[in-house]
Amino acid sequence: DIGPTDCLVRFEAASLNYRDVAMLQGNYPFSVKAGLVPVSDGAGVVIGIGSRVEKLKVGDRVCTLFHQRWQKGLLTSDIRVTTLGNYFDGVLCKYSVFPEDGLVPVPSSLTSIQAATLPCAAVTAWNALFGLKSRALEKGQTVLVQGTGGVSLFAAQFALGIGANVIATTSSEEKAQKLKQLGVQHVINYKESPNWGVIARQLSPGGQGVEHIVEVGGNASMQQSLNAIKIEGVISVIGFLGGKDASSPSNFGDCLSTLCILRGVNVGSKEQFLAMNEFVAAKGILPIIDERLFEMEEVKEAYQFLWDQKQWGKVV
């Protein structure tokens, strides 16, 4: 049944995030309710609406909102437990019902396959760079992104779109070339250069360090991020790709010595999602998607493909 403020959505695409794999492996650091439909990120078409739906209509193309009740402002403990795929049913299905407030219109410039990549990775990257208004990324500043996962690639695209400089790390020469083709100014192979944080600092203007770091490795890479950050810079802690139990030689004293802001980021609000969509449309940004697309019956293969890090861009 469709409630008065609900919409029935026919999904056309879904995209995977590292969190989806981590849940299956028991490595996700948050609660996961049993028996839920997995995956948070999807896009589709509204095919039915409740009597009190005001902003959406049948035929509208929509994305899901990661935190269903985070409309604007700061995240709260109550809102934090409204995420798709672990607290609420996700999108790995053909049809589902969502409250109107839990859906976001798709930018007209994007297909459903492209739009399905936005709810988690893109909004997270946007929040990391622009969510802290007093330290929002500006033209001419420098951003360090780690690896070539969805959040990092979106962050690189947003930074380049605003006219910032981007330094990226990777372990693959093939991916290094793709990063350069994207417009990334400097690429560091972190396997060849384990002290990549120092190198990133040296590559920054005046060797002063970078203004923003999109930290997706967690404890495993934090020390290098602290080596690279500029005084008063922002390290946005997003992921735990290095393992949720990884150790780190860094400590709170390093934050004091670098005088940086260490900020946890857990995706973003609907207000931020809408602002990001405007930027995406204005700058003509297209999500980077792996050339291999998976059908619904290939879900297991898609999960394994992501875990094996075979992808370039988002897995859809």
Q: Band the pLDDT of 310: cuts 50, 70, 90.
A: confident
Task: Indicate whether 242 pLDDT > 70.
Answer: no
Domains defined for the chain, CATH in brackets: 6-116+286-307 (3.90.180.10), 123-264 (3.40.50.720)
**278 contacts: CB under 8 Å, gap ≥ 6:** none
pLDDT, tens digit (0-9, with 9 covering 90-100), for 144-189: 999 999 999 999 999 999 999 999 999 999 999 999 999 999 999 9
pLDDT computed for residue 282 by the predictor:
97
Q: Band the pLDDT of 241: cuts 50, 70, 90.
A: low
CA distance 240 to 220: 8
pLDDT, tens digit (0-9, with 9 covering 90-100), for 91-101: 999 999 999 99
Q: Is 142 exposed, middle or buried (0-12, 13-18, 19+ CB in 10 A)?
A: buried
Task: Indicate whether 52 pLDDT > 60.
Answer: yes
CA distance 74 to 33: 24
**What is the maximum span of the chain, computed from C-alpha positions, in angstroms?**
61
Q: Band the pLDDT of 244: cuts 50, 70, 90.
A: low
CA distance 8 to 1: 9
Which of these, 195, 131, 210, lies nearest to 165 by C-alpha position?
210
The full length of the chain comes to: 316
pLDDT computed for residue 132 by the predictor:
96
Which of these, 228, 245, 166, 143, lies nearest to 193 by C-alpha position?
228
Average pLDDT on 239-262 reads: 70
pLDDT computed for residue 245 by the predictor:
54
- List Cα–Cα distances, 81 to 43, 124, 215, 272, 273, in angstroms: 22, 17, 23, 19, 18
Which of 28-32, 63-67, 116-120, 308-312 shows the lowest per-residue confidence on average (mean pLDDT)? Answer: 28-32
